[in-house]
Structure formats: structure tokens, C-alpha cells
Amino acid sequence: MLNKAWFRSGIAILLTFLIIKVFMEINQIFYPIIVIVQSILLPLLLGGFLFYICLPFQKMLEKRKIPRWGSITILMIALVFVIMLFISIVAPLVTDQINNLIRNMPYIQREVQNAVDYALQQRDRLPDNISQKINDSIESISGIVTDMLSNLFGYISSLVSTLFLLILVPFFLIYMLKDHERFIPFIAKPFRGRTKWFVVNLCKDINQTLQAYIQGQVTVSLILGVLLYIGYTFVGLDYALLLALLALVTNMIPFLGPWLAFIPAAIISIIQDPVMFIWVSIITLICQQLEGNVITPNIMGKTLSIHPLTIITVILAAGNLGGFVAILIAVPTYAVIKTIVRNVYTHRQSISSTASRTVEDDPIVDNDLK
């Protein structure tokens, strides 16, 4: 039975759950380590994100015979310039739109409440099971809103501490740009023989997966954000820039991101003018068709090859575990895990086939068979 693959897999799964259970029971021992990891994780992730965005430009500069320190200096100056440009041009417009949104929030709440009241009045005409589901949904949404308001101070405190930690991002970015060729050799150094080559190839595949995903998804999100801003501005939608920036961020989430961006745009458009909702829906539909049939296939191709149902499942699980940041990193994390599993499986198959050929070619075995 020990030779059965299903038995070994079952034992591995049980041991994994046992280790997780033990870790949960003694998590107080590791609490200081967890705090340190959580403190470093966000700046490290942002540094890695910026690294993959800057990497093509660094390669382009170095092809023009610019030394490594020169390319890093140019990239850092360019990043500072982009940030200052955003602060001086885009930030005031966004601030004005946010202030207008805050001033109009009582009116928006009133309109939303009227819509909810109207829907509740029509509830008696619905079957009992649908009515119960509506009640459950309303209670769930009310609970979420209450929790968000009660934890508002905690969110502000977390934001302040996060902004303080962002000081570490440039240091991680500079180190990655300077020594990124040394990462894979450093990881593979403890290994020998075929295992070393396996680790090197695995790290290269992971690097390629992350690079293709981040660079492609950022490009797609930027294009969609610009298209939505042009469309919203053309039809005269209120808070067009704010909604387009929100869409730019949420479009980093594959498949579900565009629909998350559509919800606030739909609410604002309905309150502004019911006809505006039709225009916003048309603009969103056109942008989604362009994204699905033109932009993404030409920029990302079949980079991840992940089924939409898998993406939804991963995103929902990540949202329950770690909030919005976890949602943003859920799909690339799954892609990395998928790459690791695929490489391990291929490596095991390679070892098995090599062992089989060795046994078949062994003259002693041939004589025994004869």
C-alpha cells in the first residue's frame, strides 16, 4: 500500500493539515516573527511589483550601453517625476471629485435608500424563498457597512502605519534592480546535480510567470482606465476621473475586476440620470469587448491559462482570508503555485522515465529476463 500514489498523497495532505493545526495551537510562540513578516511583506510586494514594471526599461537602457548604476538612477528619477506629476496634476482633480462626492453623499444615500425602499415594497409580490434571500442579503450588507464604520479608526491607523512602511519600497526596488541576476544562483547554490538544474528552471519559470502577469495586467489596466475615462468624460458622467482610477486598480483583478469597477459607476449614473446608466453600460460593454477580444489576447495571450471559475474561487477565498490586498495577489500567487506543481510533476516524470530506461538498458537485467 505504501507504493500507491493515492496513499502517499493522502498521507501528505493529512500531515499538512496536522502541521497547520499544530502551528495554530502554538502561534503565540511565532507571533513576533509573524509581525515582522507582515511589516516587511507589503513593501516587499510593492517593490517586486515596481521591479517587474521597471525591468523592461532597465534592459532597454542597458542595451544602449548605459551602466547598471546609470539605468537605476534614470529609473528612480523617472519614478519620482511620474509621482510628482501625478500629485501636481491628477491628485488635485481627484481631491475635488472626492470632496464633491462627500458633499453629495447625503443625497446619494437618500436616493439609494429610496431605491431600496421601493424594492422592499415590491417584495411581497415575490415568492417566499426569494423574499427570504433578499432579507438575508440586506442583513449581510448592513452588517458589512456597520463593521466598516466601527473599524474606521482602525483602518486610518493601518493606513498611517502602511504609509510609514512604504519608505522601505525604494530600498527593495533598488536592490532588486541592482542584483536581480544573482537571485536564482543564490537560491540554487545549496543544491547539486539534477536537483540544482530543476531549482534553476523552476525559478526561471516562476520569474517568467510573474513578469508576464504583472507587465501584461498593468498594461491592460492602464489602457482600460484611459478608455473608460474618455468614455465617461464624453457622456458627462460625474466623478469620471475618480471612477476611471478605481477601474484602473480593480482591473488588476482578472475577470471580476471590471465588474467591481462597474458597480460604483452604475450607482452614480443612476442617481445622476437614468439615461446616463444606459450610456455607462454601453461604454463598459464596449470596453469589455475590446479588452477580451483585442487588448488582452495581443498583450497577454495565454499567459496564465487559468479557467475563469478557478479565478473566481481563488479571489473569493483570498477575500475571506486577507481582504483587498489578498485579492490583488491571489491570482499571481495561484499562478506561481500552479507553475511549481507543474514543474515538480514534470521533474518526477523525467526521473521515472530515466529510471525505466536505465533498467531496460541494463545488461544484467536483460540476462535475468532471458
Q: CA 269, CA 13: separation in Å to the nearest integer?
A: 50
**Cβ-proximal residues to 308 (8 Å cutoff; 6+ apart), any chain:** 255
One-letter amino acid at 246 equals L
Q: Which of 285, 158, 304 is nearest to 217 (CA)?
A: 304
pLDDT tens digits along 267-317: 888 888 888 889 999 998 998 888 877 777 776 655 566 777 777 777 777
Task: Provide the pLDDT confidence category of residue 369 given band limits of 50, 70 and 90.
Answer: very low
Per-residue pLDDT for 102 more than 70? yes
Per-residue pLDDT for 17 more than 80? no
The per-residue pLDDT for 365 is 46
The per-residue pLDDT for 370 is 47
Q: CA 242, CA 318: separation in Å to the nearest integer?
A: 26
Q: Which of 44-48, 52-56, 331-335 has the highest mean pLDDT?
A: 52-56
Q: 126-130, 205-209, 283-287: lowest mean pLDDT where? A: 126-130
Beta-strand runs (E) in the chain: none
SS3 for 85-130 is HHHHHHHHHHHHHHHHHHHCHHHHHHHHHHHHHHHHHHHHHCCHHH
